[in-house]
A and B are shown apart, each in its own frame.
Chain A
Amino acid sequence: MLSVRNLIDTTSLTADDITQILDTARGFAEVNSRAVKKVPALRGRTIVNLFLEPSTRTRSSFELAEKRLSADSLNMGGSTSSVVKGESLADTIQTISAMNVDMFVVRARLAGSPQLVARSTDARVINAGDGKHQHPTQALLDLFTIRENFGRLDGLKVAIVGDLLHSRVLGSLAPALRTMGAEVVLVGPPTFQVADPTWFGCEQTDDIDSVLSEVDVMYMLRVQLERMEGAAIPSSREYNRLYGLNARRAALMRPDAIVCHPGPINRGMEIMPEVADSHRSRILDQVNAGVAVRMAAMYLLLGGEDHGMSD
C-alpha cells in the first residue's frame, strides 16, 4: 500500500511508494504488450477525468489506462465545464462526488487545484498537472523509463534543461529523482531559472555544455513558445543555438547516456530531429510507460487487490 491517499505531488512520496508504483507498472506494461490489453482490476469503479486545461497526450494516456483497468470513466472539462460557467471548483467537485465516484484525475491551470479537489471529496485524487506546480505521473513515467534503461536510479546524474521557472514537470521530477538517490542539475538561461534551486537540493547553471559529459540523462523540457512574449528569451533561433540539443552536443554525451523529453517536442527548438530520433532518445518509451504507470497509480490508490492482474 502507498503511504499517501492521493497522488498530488512527488514531494510526499517515499522511496518505497515510488518503487511500489514502478514495480506495479512493470506488470501493467506486460499487460499492455498483450493482444488483449485489458484486466478487470478496477471493474465497477468510476473515475472522472476533470481536465480544466487543454490536454491531448496526458488525457489520452489516462483514458487508455482507465479502459485497460476496466474502470468506467467520465470526461469533463474544456468549454463544457461548469467551472467555465462560474461555479467554484469546490462546488463542481461536490456535485460530481454526490454521484458516487471513486477517483478524480485533475488537470488544472492553477497551482494547488488538486488539493482543493481533495478537500472537497472523499474520492481519491490524482494530479494530472496543476499550473506550474507539479505533474507527478509524468515524473513517475520518467523514472520508470530511466530505471528500465539503467536498471537503477540510485547514483545516476540527470540534467533537466530548459524553461525551469514555468515547469510543473521539473516540480515533480526533481524531488522524485532526489528521493530515489539520483543527482539532479538544472540548466537554463537566467531568465528561465528557478528562484530557489536549494529547495530542490540542486545546482543550477546557465551552461549546457558544461554538463553534457557528466550526466546519464539529458532531460529536455519543452519551451513554450508563448513564454517568449514575456521576452524571457529573444528568439527560438537563439535558444536553439545556445541550449538546443543537437548532434554536436549529443556527441559529447557519455556513450550510454540517454535523452528524454516530456513532449510535445519542438523540433528545431530545444531538440534537433537528429537527436530526437537517435539511439539515445527514449521519448517514445516515456509515452509508452505513461499508460502503465498511470494504471499502476490508479490501481494502488483504489486499493485494487490482485484479482485480474494475473489472468
Chain B
Amino acid sequence: MACLIRGARLVDPQVGLDDVADVLVDGGRLARIGSGLEAPEACEVVEGAGRVLVPGLVDMHVHFRDPGFEYKETILTGSRAAAKGGFTDVATMPNTDPVCDTGTGVRYQIDRARAAGLVRVHPVGALTRGERGEQLAEIGDMVLEGAAAFSDDGHGVQNAGMMRTCMEYVSKFDRAVIAHCEVEALSGNGVVNEGRASTSLGMFGWPALAEELEVWRDIQLSRLTGCALHVAHISTARSLSYVREAKEEGLPVTCEVCPHHLFLTEDDIDDSYDTNLKMNPPLRTAADAAALREGIADGSIDCLVTDHAPHAAHEKDCEFEIAYFGIVGLETSLPLMLTNLVRTGAMGWDRLVECMAVAPRRVLRLDPVRLEEGAVADLTLVDPDRPVTVTRDWLESRSKNTPWLGAELTGCATDVFLAGERTLADGVVRGGSETSERGFPLV
C-alpha cells in the first residue's frame, strides 16, 4: 500500500539533504519527494512533523542464535527486535550451531528472514570451519549464497599464519574480514577489564593489550594481503589510534563500536556483580569510552553496531564469572545514541546516519540506500523527543539481558519501511509471519 510521510525532516548526507519535505512511498520505492504532496486514494498517511526521516538503519553485528540456540533468539524474534529498533538490515554472526561455515547455512538464514519478512538478514560467514581457526571454510560457496562478510566472531583467529591465509583468500571476493580481536593467551580467563575492575572485584582481568595486539596484527595483514579489514567492537583508545593510523596510510581498514563501550565503563560494575555488565570485550576505562565517543562523532569509527547477544535468564542469573558474555542491544541502540550524543549536540544527524546506515552498507558491500526519488524505500522515521522506558515488555527480543532495563531514554524509531512495507508503525512491529510457507513455526 502507498504511504505518504508528511512534513518530516529528511536527513541524508549521501545526497547533501537536510530539509523538511513530504515523501510518497509507492511500489516499494520513494515515488515522490516534494512539498505539499497530495495523498493518492487508499494511501496511508504518516504525520512526520517534528520527526526525522533517514535511510533505513543497518546493524552489521548481531547474533540471532538461529540455528542451534532458538531458546535465546530466533531469526523471527531477532527480526522483531531489529524492526523495533528502527533497522531494515542486519548482519548476523556465524557462531550458531552448527556454525555458519557453508553456503547452506547462509541460505538457511536468508530464507528464514524472508519468510519472517521484517528485516533483511545478511549472514556473515565463518572464516574457518567451525570457527576453530584451523582450516578455511567454504568462503566462495558462501559468497555465492549471499554472505556479506566473513568473521570468526566470538574468537580471534589465534594463529597469524591462518589469519593471513583467510585474508588472502577473502581478498579475491570483494568482501571484508570482520576481526574479533583477542589474543587468548593474554585474555585468558579474563571476565572484566584488567585494572580497576579486576582488582576491586577479585576476578581475572582481560587486558586492553589482548585486543590492541591483534588489531595491530590484523592491520599489518591487511597491508600484506590487500584484504579489507573491519575491526569488530573496538573497545580501547589505543585500538582506535591503530585504526586511525591505518586509515591515514590508506589501508582498507574500518571499524565499529557498540553503545555499551561508549556509554558504560568498568566503574559501572560494582559489588552487585550485575552480569548484564559482562561482555566481550569487557567494559573499559572512562578514558577509553571518552576516546570512543570522540571517534564515533568524528568519523574515525565508521559504524555503530550492537553486538546484540541474547542469552536466556538462567545463563545470566548466576555468578559473574560463569555468566555468558554479552547483552541484547537492537532496541536500545538508537535511543542511546539519540539520548547521549545527538540530543546533547556531541554528534550531528549527518554523522548518525553515516554510522548507522551509510557506512555499514558500504562495509557489507550492499547497495547504497539514498533519500532520492526512485530509490528503494528502506526508511526509518525517528521521533527524537519520544520518551522511552526500557522494560521487558518493550523489548521484542526473546532475551532480556540488558543493563538498561528500567532506563529512561529520549528518542526512538517510530516507523520503519522495508522496501515500502511498513514493518514498524508508530512504535509497533507490524506484519511478520510466524510460520514458514510450509506451515512450520518460525517462533
Within the complex, which residue of A12, A90, A111 is in contact with B203, where a contact is CB–CB below 8 Å? A111
A199→B194 CA distance, assembly (Å): 13
6 closest residue pairs by CB, A with B:
A133-B202, A112-B273, A110-B319, A132-B202, A196-B199, A111-B202
List the A side residues contacting B194 at CB < 8 Å: 195
The answer to whether residues A90 and B199 also contact, given A8-B271, A111-B273, A195-B194 and a CB cut-off of 8 A, is no
Residues of A in contact, count (CB < 8 Å): 27
Quick one: which of A9, A110, A132, A195 contacts B195, CB cutoff 8 A? A195
B320-352 vs A: 1/0 string, CB under 8 Å?
111000000000000000000000000000000
Q: Which of B196, B205, B314, B322 contacts A110 (CB 8 A)?
A: B322
Question: Which residues from B are CB-within-8-Å of A196?
Answer: 195-196, 198-200
Give the residue of B202, B317, B322 whose beta carbon is less than 8 angstroms from that of A130: B202
The residue on A at minimum CB distance from B200 is A199
Given contacts A11-B271, A199-B196, contact A89 B202 (CB under 8 A): no
| Known A-B contacts A111-B273, A112-B273; A133 and B195 likewise in contact (beta carbons under 8 Å) | no
1/0 contact trace for A175-212 toward B, CB 8 Å? 00000000000000000001111011000000000000
Contacting residues, chain A, for B205 (C-beta < 8 A): 195
**For the complex, is A131 an interface residue (Cβ under 8 Å from B)?**
yes
**Is B159 part of the binding interface, using a Cβ–Cβ cutoff of 8 Å?**
no
In the complex, chain A residues whose CB is within 8 Å of the CB of B200: 196, 199
Given contact pairs A110-B319, A132-B202, A171-B202, a sample of 7 additional A-B residue pairs in the complex whose CB atoms are under 8 Å apart: A90-B317, A111-B202, A112-B201, A133-B203, A195-B195, A195-B196, A196-B195
Please indicate the chain A residues that have their CB under 8 angstroms from the CB of B198 in the complex. 195-196
- CB of A108 closer than 8 Å to a CB of B: yes
A116 within 8 A of B: yes
A113: Cβ under 8 A from any B Cβ: yes
A168 at the binding interface (Cβ < 8 Å):
yes
Please name all residues of chain B whose beta carbon is closer than 8 Å to the beta carbon of A199 when the two chains form the complex.
Answer: 196, 199-200
Is B199 within 8 A of A131, CB to CB? no
Q: Tell me the minimal C-beta distance from A172 to chain B in angstroms.
A: 10
User: B160 within 8 Å of A by Cβ?
Assistant: no
Contacts of A195 in B (CB 8 A): 194-196, 198-199, 205
Q: Is B318 an interface residue (CB 8 A)?
A: yes
In the complex, chain A residues whose CB is within 8 Å of the CB of B202: 111, 130-134, 168, 171
A88 touches B (CB below 8 Å): yes
| 27 A-B contacts (beta carbon < 8 Å) | A8-B271, A9-B271, A110-B321, A111-B201, A111-B203, A111-B320, A112-B201, A112-B271, A112-B273, A112-B321, A115-B272, A131-B203, A132-B203, A132-B204, A134-B202, A168-B202, A171-B202, A194-B199, A195-B194, A195-B195, A195-B196, A195-B199, A196-B196, A196-B199, A199-B196, A199-B199, A199-B200
Interface readout for B253-293 with A: 1 if CB under 8 Å, 0 if not?
Answer: 00000000000000000011100000000000000000000
Give per-residue flags for A98-142: 1 if the beta carbon is below 8 A from chain B beta carbons, else 0: 000000000010111101100000000000001111100000000
Is B314 in contact with A88, judged by CB distance below 8 angstroms?
yes
Task: List residues of chain A with CB within 8 A of the CB of B320.
Answer: 110-112
User: Known interface pairs A132-B202, A195-B198, A195-B205. Does A116 touch B271 (Cβ–Cβ under 8 Å)?
Assistant: no
Number of A-B residue pairs having CB atoms within 8 Å of each other in the complex: 66
**Minimum Cβ distance to chain A for residue B150 (Å):** 34
B199, B273, B314: residue with the most chain A Cβ atoms closer than 10 Å: B199
With A88-B317, A195-B205 known to touch, is A115 a contact of B199 (CB < 8 Å)? no
**Using Cβ atoms and an 8 Å threshold, which residues of chain B touch A111?**
201-203, 273, 319-321
Query: What B residues does A168 contact at CB under 8 A?
Result: 202
Q: B321 and A116: CB pair below 8 A?
A: no
Q: How far is the CA of A131 from the CA of B321 in the complex (A)?
A: 10
Name the interface residues of B157-215: CB closer than 8 Å to any CB of A: 194-196, 198-205
Residue of B whose beta carbon sits closest to that of A115 = B273
Instruction: For the complex formed, measure the closest distance between the CB of B320 and the CB atoms of chain A, giving whole angstroms.
Output: 5
In whole angstroms, how far apart are the Cα atoms of A88 and B323 in the complex?
A: 12
B273 → chain A closest CB, angstroms: 3
B6: min CB distance to chain A, Å: 50
- By a CB distance below 8 angstroms, the chain A residues around B201 are 111-112, 133
Cβ contacts under 8 Å, A131 to chain B = 202-203, 321
| Residues of A close to B203: CB separation below 8 A | 111, 131-133
A8 partner residues in chain B, CB cutoff 8 A: 271
Q: List residues of B (286-320) whose CB comes within 8 Å of A's CBs.
A: 314, 317-320
What separation, in Å, do the CA atoms of A34 and B205 have in the docked complex? 48
What 1/0 mask marks residues of chain A from 1 to 43 whose CB sits below 8 Å from any chain B CB?
0000000110110000000000000000000000000000000
Q: Please give, as numbers and ranges, the residues of chain A lying within 8 Å of B314 by CB-CB distance.
A: 88
Distance of A116 Cα from B323 Cα, bound (Å): 12
Taking CB as reference atom, which chain A residue is nearest B275? Answer: A112
Q: How far is the CB of A276 from chain B (nearest CB, A)?
A: 27
**Chain A residues positioned under 8 Å from B322 (CB to CB):** 110
In angstroms, how far is the closest chain B Cβ from the Cβ of A228?
16
Q: Give Cα distance in the complex from A113 to B322, angstroms.
A: 11
A111 vs B196: C-alpha distance in the bound complex, in angstroms?
A: 15
Closest to B198 in A: A195
The chain B residue sitting closest to A197, CB to CB, is B199
Q: Closest chain B residue to A193 by CB distance? A: B199
Q: Which residues of B contact A134 (CB under 8 A)?
A: 202
What's the least CB distance linking B256 to chain A, in Å? 27
Q: Closest chain B residue to A9 by CB distance?
A: B271
A113: chain B residues at CB < 8 Å are 319
Residues of chain B with a CB closer than 8 A to A132's CB: 202-204
Q: Please, how many angstroms separate the alpha-carbon atoms of A132 and B195 in the complex?
A: 14
Contact residues in A for B317 (Cβ distance below 8 Å): 88, 90
Q: Contact: A115 with B195, CB < 8 Å? A: no
**In the bound complex, CA of A197 to CA of B200 (Å):** 9
> Are A88 and B321 in touch, CB under 8 angstroms?
no
Most chain B CB atoms below 10 A, which of A12, A112, A197: A112
Say how far B288's CB is from chain A's closest CB, in angstroms. 14
Whole-angstrom CA separation of A196 from B193 in the bound complex: 11
- A210 to chain B minimum Cβ distance, whole angstroms, is 22
Report chain B residues within 8 Å CB of A90: 317-318
Chain B positions within 8 Å of A11 at CB level: 271
Q: A90 to B322, alpha carbons, bound, how many Å?
A: 14
> Restricting to A126-162, which residues have a CB under 8 Å from any CB of B?
130-134
